[in-house]
Amino acid sequence: MATSSRGANKTIGRLLADGTIEEIAARLGPVSPDTSPLPPEVPDTRNWSSEGTARRRSFLEGELGRKIPWLGGEATLEDDAELRGNIEHFIGMTMVPTGIIGPLRINGVGAKGDFYVPLATTEGALVASYHRGASIVSRAGGVTSICLVEGVQRSPSFRFRTFMEVGTFLIWVMGRSAEFQSIVSKISSHARLEDIRSSVDGNQITLVLDYNTGDAAGQNMVTICTDAVCRHIVEHAPVKPVVWYVEGNLSGDKKATAISFTTVRGKKVTAEALIPRPLVERGLHTTPEEMMGYWKTSVLNGIQSGSIGVNGHFANGLTAIFLACGQDAACVAEAAVGTTRFDVIDGDLYVCVTLPNLIVGTVGGGTGLPTQRECLELLGCRGDGTARKFAEICAATILCGEISIVGAIAAGDFAKAHALFGRRRNGARP
């Protein structure tokens, strides 16, 4: 998952704008955990009754300082036309239950503090597992989470008669980045065209346009901008393509691809924590050595399975937070590609996750829908200037899930947890 010098320099510049490297290092990382008192945990975590739900909702409203009428089912849409842009042929809502975990302490660049993270899922045991991980890492001083680089791609393809025409076309295109950026700026106030790469195959060339999309996830944005750029290219290029397509399937959109894994698509985020041995033994019923031993086994078998990246269950947490917070759930196909790493440092457990394809946003798309808006507000991540913060929260949450699942498997508790939380008593359904 190498980063270009351009991307690395941008990241360094953004970090140094927040203080000197010494100041940042002192504030971040497991070497300087935040040991101040934690806020209260989510109450009644094993109470499935309406009374338990009401107490948890009241607790969150107290933490947020206001009501959450949409999540509480007290508010309804006044006009279904409000959903235009999010759905066609609307007939009703699919209800996915939403739970909460936390507090999750994050020592990030954008995300700093204690967070209660909403997760929407129908899988029993998932919320309990992530909550357990959040409790352990928070008592250990928190998770360091940093958004490293950003970029969303579109890859238009152009087919010509001969390779020589491709060469003429490529020479012309590569000298016009500023011209193309001017076109983009007229269409979107968020998108910036930052780089153009190319892939030639005989008489066909695919351009990879790298955009920064600000606080939007940006898939629709970069499609519209790329279409305008391509139409300008076709009109003015010295040679005309036989045919062109606005997306040639090289961008990795909604797919698990090696190219996105080794570069960045969306936001590349890394998160780490150092958990003292006593917390591992008491909270996970295992040891740092046993957890690292299981991780080694999972890496070996992940390689044999042909996995792109190796992790326990990124897709679980990402799908749950995406549904709760109005993200494009289909992007989990690519966002769940990443790595988990365990180590033992001076007897304590070190854990790190890296997500190079985290497609998330805090404006546009589904982020304006009522319950999704409330969930983003609960995290302090609604609107401009909060997308990197949200990405850091996502990565920290994923780390919690990795700690919990690996701990459960290493301790032999994995099936027991699913029997406790993932099954209805006596098979009953309401």
Whether the pLDDT of residue 167 is over 90: the answer is yes
Higher pLDDT, 72 or 221: 221
Which residue type is seen at 312? G
pLDDT mean across residues, the chain: 91
* Average confidence (pLDDT) over 84-95: 92
List of residues 6+ apart from 313 with CB closer than 8 A: 401, 402, 405
pLDDT of 429 reads 46
Question: Euclidean distance between the first and final Cα of the chain, in Å?
Answer: 47
* DSSP calls for 51-104: HHHHHHHHHHHHHHTS--TTTTT----S-GGGGTTT-SS---PPP--EEEEEEE
pLDDT band for 430, please (50, 70, 90 cuts).
Answer: very low
- Please give the Cα distance from 300 to 293 (Å, whole number): 11
pTM: 0.90
Range 174-180 average pLDDT:
93
Quick one: which of 59, 163, 158 has its CA closest to 102?
A: 59
Nearest residue to 247 (alpha-carbon basis) of 153, 152, 155, 184: 155
Is the pLDDT at 129 greater than 70, yes or no?
A: yes
Distance, C-alpha 236 to centroid of its chain: 39
Tell me which of 395 and 32 has the higher pLDDT.
395
For residue 3, give every residue at least 6 positions away whose Cβ sits within 8 Å of its Cβ, in sequence order, or none.
11, 148, 149, 263, 264, 268
Rounded to 10°, the helix 387-411/414-421 angle is 110
Which domains are seen in the chain, by residue range?
5-41+103-148+268-425 (3.90.770.10), 156-245 (3.30.70.420)
Residue 216 to residues 219, 246, 362, Cα–Cα distance (Å): 9, 20, 6
- 51 pLDDT more than 80: yes
**pLDDT tens-digit profile of 207-241?**
999 999 999 998 999 999 999 999 999 999 999 99
Band of residue 419 on the pLDDT scale cut at 50, 70, 90: low
Q: Which residues are catalytic?
A: 123, 254, 328, 418
Task: Categorize the per-residue pLDDT at 112 as very low, low, confident or very high, splitting at 50, 70 and 90.
Answer: very high
pLDDT in tens, 239-271: 999 999 999 999 999 999 998 888 899 999 999
